[in-house]
Amino acid sequence: MHSIKLITTYLYTRYERFWHWLQMLLIFLLLITGFEIHGVYSLMGFEQAVEVHNFLGITWLIAFAFFVFWIFTTGEWKQYIPTTKKLLEVIHYYGFGIFKGESHPVPKRKGAKHNPLQRLTYLSLAAMLLPIQMFTGIFYWTYNSWESWGLDFLSLNVVALIHLAGAFSILAFIVVHVYMTTTGHSIFAHIKAMITGWEEIEEGEEVEDWEKASRGLCSENASAKEV
C-alpha cells in the first residue's frame, strides 16, 4: 500500500458537494423532527416539530428536483448504473481484504467515483428509498385531499408506517455510510474529498470501459497533480 504512489484528483464538483451537504443537513433535521413526531423523545414539542418537518420536507423536495435536473443534464446518472461486475470482489474486500491490507478492487477514478457496491446502494437510495420517503411524506401531508384526488383507498396507517420504515432505513444507511468514509487510505480522506472535491487516489490502474460515465465528465477544473 505504501509503495503505491498517490495522486490527487478532482472527484466531486462544487454543486455535487453542495448538494451532498445540504441533503445531509436536511435529512439530519428531518430525522430529528420526524422521530420527535413519532413520539420517541420530546425536544421542540410536537407542534413545532411538525411545522419544521413539513417545511424541511418541502425544501428537500424542491432541492431534489434540482439534483435530478443536474444528474441528467450532466450525464452523472451513468455513475449510478448498477452492475454485478466485481461486486463480489468489493464485498470480499470489505469483508476480508481490508483486514489484510489488500488494495481496493475498484478504486475511485475520475469518471468512475462509485464502486459497484456504491452504485447499487446509491441507486436504491436515490431512486427508491428517498422517493418513497418523499411520496409517503407528501401523502401524509396532504391527507385531507385524498378524497378529492380519488386516493381515498389509501390508509394513513399504511402511509405512516412506510414513511417510518423508510426513516429507519435511512438512519441505518447513515450509520454505515458515515463509518465507510473512514475506509479510505486515511480515516478522513473521503470526508475531506467531499468537502474540497479533491481526493487522493492511487496512481495507476485505468478506468475500465464499463465504469466510464461519459467523456468530458468532471472536466471542470480537471487537473490531476502529483503529490
Partner 1 sequence: MMFKLTHKRYVLYFLWICFLFFASTLLFANQDQDAPGLELARQVVKEAKNTTTADHSQFKALNQNFTSGPEISKACLSCHTEAAKQLKKTLHWTWLDPNSPKDNQMGKAGYSVNNFCISANAMNDHHCNECHIGWNEEGKKAEIDCLKCHGRKKINWEEVLGDYKYFAESKDPEENALAKDAQAEIHEVVQSIGRPTRKNCGSCHFSGGGGDGVKHGDLDPSLINPNKELDVHMGYDGQDFECTRCHTTIAHHVAGRIYGTPASETRHSLLEHDLEPKIMCESCHSDKPHASSSKMNDHTDKVACQACHVPVIAKVLPVQRWWDWSKAGKKKDGKPYDVNGPFGKPVYQTTKGDTKWEKNVVPKYLWFNGSIKGVTAKDMIDPSKIVKLAWPNGNRNDKNARIFPFNIHSGKQPYDTVNKTMTTPLLSGEHGYWTTFDWQDSIQRGAKYLDLPFSGKIDFVETAYVFPSTHMVSPREEALKCSQCHTRSDSRLANLAGFYMPGRDKVNIIDFAGWAIVLCSFGGIVLHALGRIFTNGRKKEE
Q: In the complex, which residues of this chain contact partner 1 (CB under 8 A)? A: 14, 18, 22, 37-39, 42, 45-47, 50-51, 54-55, 58-59, 62-63, 94, 98-101, 143-144, 155-157, 160-161, 164-165, 167-169, 171-172, 175-176, 179, 182-183
Closest CA to 16 of 226, 220, 171: 220
CB 115 to partner 1: min, Å: 17
Rg (CA), the chain: 20
What are 6's strand-pairing partners? 202
Between 81 and 128, whose beta carbon lies closer to partner 1?
128
CB 176 to partner 1: min, Å: 5
Q: What's the CA gap between 185 and 95, in Å, rounded?
A: 17
Closest CA to 106 of 124, 88, 86: 86
CB 104 to partner 1: min, Å: 14
Between 41 and 215, whose beta carbon lies closer to partner 1?
41
For 172, which DSSP code?
Answer: H
Residue corresponding to grid cell 465528465: 217
CB 67 to partner 1: min, Å: 12
Helix (H, G, I), strand (E, B) or coil at 226: strand
Between 84 and 157, whose beta carbon lies closer to partner 1?
157
Between 109 and 190, whose beta carbon lies closer to partner 1?
190
CB 122 to partner 1: min, Å: 17
Q: What's the CA gap between 168 and 37, in Å, rounded?
A: 14
